């Protein structure tokens, strides 16, 4: 297939589901498969896949939304920076409405440009270079897909001698979180659907430990409904056969080795560090920190950013949703005190947040078979 709409063909989806059902009928017990990408969450919800899965197969969402896994304390640190004289904070759009204890970044967006929306980290370098009298802070959230751009921005700023640019480094490394989930007995997973875009950067080789150490299958999937259903079927087939290996469904982009140029740029600027994830706590080697050579760009060290509490609001179960131990409708706030218009937690804010996707596409109703199925 060559075109995106071919991966949305209803007849092909039906055939892939039929194959999955045939495999699921041979499973010795019910299984739990985690998709660890907000893009996959949205595709599954939009297509109503949860409602037509075999009874033996449960698909749960994991910490695949970069906005959602960013702890509340990081939001408050960014707000603290926006409150400082002469400081301008640059952020991606989804972060504007994420609530912290001090409010939201969006509340500062109209205050003399204290918070500005960015589409690329390199834009921030250009702005800082043109406004040397301002202190410019790049809120560096995201997974391995965002890290190369932020690293490239740091390298360009260093090359051009831009001294008024700083990074609030809050990036996350997906593989470390996957290991933490496998070690969490409460989560109890049987396999993974891995994110195609992250894998395009880091390579499918990065997931070998899942099969080698934990004996679980892992399939890298693209972002159309056929991609995800095919990948789920492949995980089921491995479980039926008692196999555990890493497969690439998303062969049109992901490879075994990944994008080695992007990997090199990340490694040039960042090194792994312990990081806090919303819901998962502190995970070793799961974050990015600037290497010593680039410490002059570190917002925390150079601008005196204080540590902030990261406790979630009362009643919010975003952390449990991100671990796959509860579904969004299991939260008492879902659709009641927490909606996309009035979000309590980040999973209801982000475009790839599980709660927002479940709410938008009525997954609770589909689970009862009340809406049209594929």
DSSP helix/strand/coil, 277: strand
Residue 282: which domain range?
Answer: 68-173+258-303
pLDDT of residue 371: 36
Which of 248, 266, 291 is the endpoint of a domain?
248
Q: Tell me the pLDDT band of 366, cut-offs 50, 70 and 90.
A: very low
Q: How many folded domains does the chain comprise?
A: 3
Residues 6+ apart with CB under 8 A from 210: 178, 182, 192, 216, 217, 218, 244, 246
Task: Give the mean pLDDT of 217-245.
Answer: 97
Residue 206, CB half-sphere, CA atoms under 13 Å: how many?
26
Q: What DSSP string runs through 279-319?
A: TTEEEEEEEEEE-GGGGGGBHHHHHTPPP---PPPTT--HH
Q: Which pLDDT value is given to residue 2?
A: 66
pLDDT given at position 76: 95
Which residues does residue 355 pair with via DSSP β-bridges, in sequence order? none
Provide the CA 255 distance to its chain's centre, in angstroms.
20
Beta bridge partners of 218: 192, 246
Asked if 343 and 330 sit in the same domain, the reply is yes
Are 78 and 159 found together in one domain? yes
- Asked whether residue 367 is assigned to any structural domain, the reply reads no
159 plus 281 within the same structural domain = yes
Residues 85 and 165 in one domain: yes
Please give the average per-residue pLDDT across 211-233, as a whole number: 97
* 200: three-class secondary structure by DSSP: helix
Q: Retrieve residue 135's tokens.
A: 């202190």
Is the residue at 308 inside a domain? no
Q: Which helix (H) or strand (E) holds 205?
A: none
**Percent of the residues in the chain that have a pLDDT greater than 70, as a whole number:** 96
What CATH number corresponds to the domain at position 43? 3.40.50.11750
pLDDT score of 241 more than 90: yes
Q: In this structure, are 297 and 320 located in the same domain?
A: no
pTM: 0.92
Residues 55 and 157 in one domain: no
Q: Is the pLDDT of residue 221 over 50?
A: yes
Residue 374 in domain = no
Q: Identify the CA nearest to 223 among candidates 253, 181, 178.
A: 253
Q: Is residue 231 part of a domain?
A: yes
Which tens digit of pLDDT belongs to each residue from 335-355?
A: 999 999 999 999 999 888 999
Shared domain for 188 and 290, answered yes or no, is no
Q: Are residues 264 and 168 in the same domain?
A: yes
Sequence-ordered alpha helix ranges (H) in the chain: 10-24, 38-47, 66-69, 72-82, 121-130, 147-160, 174-183, 196-202, 208-214, 225-241, 260-269, 299-303, 318-323, 354-360, 363-367
pLDDT at 365 > cutoff 90: no
Q: What is the mean pLDDT of residues 254-269?
A: 98
Residues 166, 90, single domain; the answer is yes
Query: Based on the domain organization, do 157 and 179 belong to the same domain?
Result: no
State how far the Cα of 109 lies from the Cα of 102, in Å rounded to an integer. 14
Judge whether 370 lies within some domain: no
pLDDT tens-digit profile of 149-167? 999 999 999 999 999 999 9
The answer to whether residues 193 and 108 belong to one domain is no
Least trusted range by pLDDT, from 45-49, 301-305, 360-364: 360-364
Mean pLDDT of 274-278: 95
Q: Are residues 226 and 276 in the same domain?
A: no
């Amino acid at each position: 297939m060559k075109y995106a709409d071919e991966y949305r063909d209803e007849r092909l989806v039906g055939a892939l589901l039929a194959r999955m059902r045939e495999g699921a009928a041979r499973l010795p017990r019910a299984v739990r498969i985690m998709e660890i990408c907000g893009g996959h969450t949205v595709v599954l919800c939009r297509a109503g896949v949860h409602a037509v899965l075999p009874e033996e197969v449960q698909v749960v969402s994991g910490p695949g939304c970069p906005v959602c896994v960013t702890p509340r304390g990081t939001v408050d640190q960014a707000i603290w920076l926006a409150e400082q004289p002469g400081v301008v904070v640059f952020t991606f759009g989804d972060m504007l409405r994420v609530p912290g204890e001090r409010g939201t970044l969006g509340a500062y967006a109209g205050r003399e440009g204290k918070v500005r929306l960015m589409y690329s980290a390199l834009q921030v370098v250009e702005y800082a270079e043109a406004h040397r009298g301002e202190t410019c802070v790049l809120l560096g959230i995201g997974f391995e897909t965002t890290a190369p751009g932020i690293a490239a921005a740091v390298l360009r700023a260093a090359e051009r001698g831009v001294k008024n640019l700083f990074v609030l480094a809050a990036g996350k490394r997906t593989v470390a979180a996957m290991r933490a989930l496998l070690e969490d007995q409460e989560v109890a997973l049987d396999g993974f659907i891995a994110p195609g875009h992250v894998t395009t950067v880091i390579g499918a080789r990065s997931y070998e430990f899942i099969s080698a150490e934990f004996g679980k299958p892992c399939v890298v999937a693209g972002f159309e409904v056929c991609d995800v259903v095919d990948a789920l079927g492949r995980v089921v087939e491995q479980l039926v056969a008692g196999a555990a290996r890493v497969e690439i469904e998303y062969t049109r982009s992901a490879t075994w080795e990944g994008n080695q140029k992007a990997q090199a740029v990340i490694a040039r600027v960042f090194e792994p560090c312990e990081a806090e994830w919303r819901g998962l706590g502190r995970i070793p080697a799961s974050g990015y920190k600037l290497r010593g050579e680039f410490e002059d760009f570190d917002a925390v060290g150079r601008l005196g950013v204080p540590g902030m509490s990261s406790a979630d609001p009362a009643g919010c179960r975003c952390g449990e949703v991100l671990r796959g131990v509860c579904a969004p409708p299991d939260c008492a706030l879902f659709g009641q005190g927490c909606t996309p218009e009035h979000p309590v937690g980040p999973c209801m804010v982000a475009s790839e947040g599980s709660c927002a996707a479940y709410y938008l596409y009525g997954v609770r109703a589909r689970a009862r078979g009340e809406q049209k199925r594929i």
